[in-house]
Amino acid sequence: MLEVKNVTKEFGTKKAVSNLNFKLENGRILGLVGRNGAGKSTTFRMILQIIEPTEGNVTYDGKEITQEVLDKFGYLPEEGSLIPAYTVLELCEYYGSLKLMDSKEIRDILISWLEKFHIEEYLNKKVKDLSKGNRQKIQFIVSNLHNPEFLILDEPFSGLDPISVEELKKCILELKAAGKTIIFSSHRMDHVEELCDELIILNEGKTVLQGNLQEIIQTYEINGKTNNSVNDIFIHAASGNE
């Protein structure tokens, strides 16, 4: 279980995240949503210990986030972290070696993922020659290469065509069925509604709504009406009307 407790992050006089609290049980999917600058990526970076919270702490299965714990995590950053001059195989061999994987294991797992996305022919293609959508698929594969038990996906559907979106959604649900725990951010509320068990809406670093997604849909009122779409709930809550 991931627990984020009383977490605040300040950059000078600006509070990027303010007193964030949540628990995510193993095998669940959490949607962390908000407008640009709401604090989503900052939250992810604090969980991953890329930056330290100004206040509060993050634990996983009751332990502080050490390198040993981070080895159980996979991360797809919004901005990407691929090396353009490498082939897809070289790239995965590099990142896999950082997780102490051997070459055969890396190649076998990579080919299996490429087959899932129907892009087997890209094994020896250079990253710089891939389309934005295919780079995003490779980024997703890299984040899963070492079979992590916890995944953080920052805008995973960015740049994907509709067919690729459906392929990725299927993969995410398969990972959940295999017991993986996932947090992802998205600007597409229909993706959140389809995939998530839990929801947190941030506005200027503050939590304006959180809880079980289905309970929120059933109980959140807009003009006296419940059972609204997640998109309508997001617009209403993120506008300060919650």
pLDDT digits (tens, 9 = 90+) for 194-227: 999 999 999 999 999 999 999 999 999 998 999 9
Q: Would you place residue 240 in the very low, low, confident or very high pLDDT band (cuts 50, 70, 90)? A: low
> C-alpha distances in angstroms, 55 versus 18, 52, 122?
9, 9, 44
pLDDT at 42: 96
> C-alpha distances in angstroms, 3 versus 6, 7, 8, 20, 242?
10, 10, 14, 10, 24
pLDDT at 238: 85
Strand 198-203 relative to strand 29-34, pairing: parallel
Q: What is the pTM of this model?
A: 0.92
* Token pair of 161 as six digits: 């065509």
Angle at 178 between CA 138 and CA 71, to 5 degrees: 60
pLDDT at 239: 80
| Four-CA torsion 112, 113, 118, 123, nearest 10 degrees | -80
Q: Tell me the average pLDDT across 51-62.
A: 96
Report phi then psi at 182, rounded to 5. Answer: -135, 135
pLDDT at 159 over 90: no
Residues in Cβ contact with 35 at an 8 Å cutoff, skipping those fewer than 6 apart: 203, 238
Q: Which of 2, 26, 41, 28 is nearest to 205 (CA)?
A: 41
Q: Give the integer Cα–Cα distance in Å for 58 and 132.
A: 33
- Contact present, 159 and 136 (Cβ < 8 Å): yes
* Token pair of 45 as six digits: 């970076």
Report phi then psi at 55, rounded to 5. Answer: -140, 160
